[in-house]
Amino acid sequence: MFWKKANFTILFIIFFAFLLNSCANRGDARKSPPDPKERVKRNIEEGRGFRLMDNINKGGTRNFDFASSNELWRASLDTIDFMPLASVNYSGGIIVTDWYSADQNSNQNVKISIRFLTNEIRSDALDIKVFKKICNELNKCTISESTGPLIKELKRKILKTAKIYEVQKKEKNFKPYDPPKLGN
C-alpha cells in the first residue's frame, strides 16, 4: 500500500513539474506591456495568439509553413536560385550549390556555401563561402576560396530580401484585436 501511494505521489510531482514548465514566460519583460489586455492585443495582432473561431472558419484546412516561414532561408534560396543546388539541409542549416559558370566556354566556375548561424536577420547570421575553380586547357583545375566582394554582395542581398519577407509576414499576420464583448 505504501509503495502504491509513493508511486502515485512521485508521478503527481513529475506531472505537476511538467505542467509548471509549460507556464514559463520566455519573453523579455521589458518589451512587454504591464497591462494584460495590452499584451493580449499585441500578441494577437502579431499573429502569436490563438483564435478558436479563425481555425473553425477556415473549413479545416491546414497551413504548414516549415522552412518557408524562415525569412533568411527563403531569401538565400531566392538569391542563388539561378545556380544548381548540390546539397540543401534545412535542419542542418546549410545550402551548398554545385559548380556554376555563367559562360559554358569559360574555364572558371563558382561554388557557394551558405551556413546559417541563427534565424535572426542580422549581419552575423550567415557564414558565406565562395570557391573558385579555374581549369586550364588540359582540364587541370585549381580550387581556391574567394574573399572578394561577392561575399559581401550576397550577404547584403540576402539580408535585404529577408527583411522584406519579415515585413510582409508581419503585415500578413496582423489582425486588429477586437476584445470580446461580455454580456448580451
Q: What is the pLDDT of residues 23-80, one digit of tens each?
A: 545 556 676 777 777 777 776 666 565 554 444 444 444 444 445 568 999 999 999 9
Asked whether residue 124 is assigned to any structural domain, the reply reads yes
Helix or strand holding residue 113 (H, E): strand 108-116
User: What is the residue range of 38's domain?
Assistant: 2-61
Query: 124 and 109 in one domain?
Result: yes
Query: 84 and 50 in one domain?
Result: no
Burial class (CB in 10 A: 0-12, 13-18, 19+), 114: buried
Q: What is the pLDDT of residue 62?
A: 46
Asked whether residue 7 is assigned to any structural domain, the reply reads yes
Percent of the chain exceeding pLDDT 70 equals 71
Asked whether residue 121 is assigned to any structural domain, the reply reads yes
Burial class (CB in 10 A: 0-12, 13-18, 19+), 174: exposed
Q: What is the pLDDT of residue 105?
A: 74
Query: 124 and 50 in one domain?
Result: no
Query: 129 and 82 in one domain?
Result: yes
Residue 168 has pLDDT above 70, yes or no: yes
Query: 107 and 42 in one domain?
Result: no
Split at pLDDT 50, 70, 90, the class of 183 is low
Query: 147 and 74 in one domain?
Result: yes
Query: 72 and 54 in one domain?
Result: no
Max mean pLDDT among 34-38, 147-151, 156-160 falls in: 156-160
Q: How many other β-carbons are positioned within 10 Å of the β-carbon of residue 93? A: 17
Query: 87 and 38 in one domain?
Result: no
For residue 122, what is its C-alpha cell?
Answer: 542580422
Query: 74 and 156 in one domain?
Result: yes
Query: 34 and 91 in one domain?
Result: no
Lowest mean pLDDT among 19-23, 106-110, 148-152: 19-23
Q: What is the pLDDT of residue 85?
A: 93
Q: What is the pLDDT of residue 69?
A: 67
Of the candidates 42, 9, 5, the residue with the CA atom closest to the CA atom of residue 27 = 42
Q: What is the pLDDT of residue 65?
A: 42
Query: 138 and 84 in one domain?
Result: yes
Per-residue DSSP letter, 58: T
For residue 10, what is its C-alpha cell?
Answer: 512521485
Asked whether residue 103 is assigned to any structural domain, the reply reads yes
Lowest mean pLDDT among 38-42, 140-144, 149-153: 38-42
CA distances from 27 to 19, 30, 33, 43, 122 (A): 18, 9, 12, 12, 19
- Looking at 35, 61, 87, the residue that finishes a domain is 61
Helix or strand holding residue 57 (H, E): helix 52-57
Q: Tell me, yes or no, if the pTM score tops 0.85.
A: no
Burial class (CB in 10 A: 0-12, 13-18, 19+), 96: middle
Count of structural domains within the chain: 2
Going by their DSSP bridges, the two strands 94-97 and 141-146 should be labelled as unpaired
Split at pLDDT 50, 70, 90, the class of 152 is very high
Going by their DSSP bridges, the two strands 141-146 and 126-135 should be labelled as antiparallel
Asked whether residue 183 is assigned to any structural domain, the reply reads no
Comparing 21 with 176, the larger pLDDT belongs to 176
